[in-house]
Amino acid sequence: MHGKLNAVPVFVPAITSRSNRADRVMMRAVDIMVASVALFFFAPLMIVIAALVFVGDPGPILFAHRRIGRGGKDFYCLKFRSMAVDADARLRELLAVDAAARDEWARDHKLRNDPRITGIGRFLRKSSLDELPQLFNVLRGDMSLVGPRPIVQAEAERYGRYLSEYCAVRPGITGLWQVSGRNDTTYRRRVAMDVAYSRKCSTSMNLKILAVTVPSVVFAKGSY
pLDDT digit string (tens) for the chain, length 224 residues = 444 444 444 444 444 455 677 888 999 999 999 999 999 999 999 999 999 999 999 999 999 999 999 999 999 999 999 999 888 888 888 888 888 888 888 887 778 888 888 999 999 988 889 999 999 999 999 999 999 999 999 899 999 999 999 999 999 999 988 888 776 778 889 999 999 999 988 889 999 999 888 877 766 665 65
**Does a structural domain hold residue 191?**
yes
The phi, psi pair for 209, rounded to 5°, reads -65, -40
Task: Say how far apart CA 33 and CA 56 lie, in whole Å.
Answer: 33
**Does a structural domain hold residue 91?**
no
Domain residue limits at 32: 21-82+117-218
Strand 144-146 relative to strand 172-174, pairing: parallel
Task: Say how far apart CA 53 and CA 119 lie, in whole Å.
Answer: 9
Model-level pTM? 0.81
Question: Per DSSP, what are the bridge partners of residue 62?
Answer: 80
Task: Please tell me the predicted confidence (pLDDT) of residue 222.
Answer: 54
**Does a structural domain hold residue 124?**
yes
Contact of 38 with 136, CB cutoff 8 Å? no
Number of structural domains (the chain) is 1
C-alpha R_g of the chain: 17
Helix axes of 87-97 and 99-108: crossing angle, nearest 10 degrees:
120
**Does a structural domain hold residue 157?**
yes
**Does a structural domain hold residue 55?**
yes
**Does a structural domain hold residue 44?**
yes
Task: Please tell me the predicted confidence (pLDDT) of residue 1.
Answer: 44
**Does a structural domain hold residue 121?**
yes
**Does a structural domain hold residue 14?**
no
Contact of 116 with 91, CB cutoff 8 Å? yes
